[in-house]
Each structure stands twice: as C-alpha cells, then as structure tokens.
Amino acid sequence: MDTSSPSAFVNGALLRRYIGQKVRTVIQVIGSDTGSVVGKSTDDLQIVVRGPSTTPPLTTYLEVIGIAESDNSIRAETWTNFGNTFDPQNYNELCKLASGEFKHLFI
C-alpha cells in the first residue's frame, strides 16, 4: 500500500474539513455529464465530482479519490465502480470512525 499520499475517508458532512486535501468517498450516482458526476453521499448529501472522464458505463455506486475543492465537490484523480449493490450505512459509519476516536488507525 502506498502511504506517501494518504486520503481521508469522508462522507458529505466531513468533506468540508478536508478542503484542499486528498479524500476518498463513495457516492450513489444520480447523474453524469461530460467530465462530472453528481451523486449522493453515504449520509445523503449531494456531491459533485469533476475530473477526467469516467469509463462508461457507471455503476450505481462509485468510489472517488481526489482533492476536496469545496464542501460539496471533489476533483477526482481516481474513479472506481463499486457495483450496483453497496451498503452506504456501513461506509458512513467507517467515515465516522476514521475521523473520530479511531483516527489513529487510519492513514
């Protein structure tokens, strides 16, 4: 695992803490256009992801790693299809743990 450029696990609410920093999140795709995807975070907030074109077709869930540009947008470096079935509640709890008392366990 490359630990030289770690990314914080974030949901929609946590994104604002990491503006200008590398983050990773999972969104439920709502729509897409050339160079951007609109999605719902695991805590039901809207996030806009911009970056190089994704490889169609997108699945329902998408992991994004990139730089948080604002409290609701990410400039993507990497997009990964996570399939059509995913438990957003578990990921949301992971985000809370990774930014809370167990932060030291996450890079």
CA distances for 53 relative to 70, 81, 90, angstroms? 20, 13, 28
Which residues are CB-contacts of 18 (< 8 A; sequence separation ≥ 6)? 8, 10, 68
Within a 10 A sphere around the Cβ of 11, how many other Cβ atoms? 24
Please state the pTM of the whole predicted model: 0.90
pLDDT by residue for the chain (107 residues), tens only, comes to 566 778 999 999 999 999 999 999 999 999 988 889 999 999 999 999 998 765 667 899 999 999 999 999 999 999 899 999 999 999 999 999 999 888 888 86
Distances (CA, A) of 12 to 2, 50, 64: 25, 15, 13
Q: Are 81 and 59 in contact (CB under 8 A)?
A: yes
Give just the sign of the alpha carbon dihedral 53, 55, 61, 64: negative
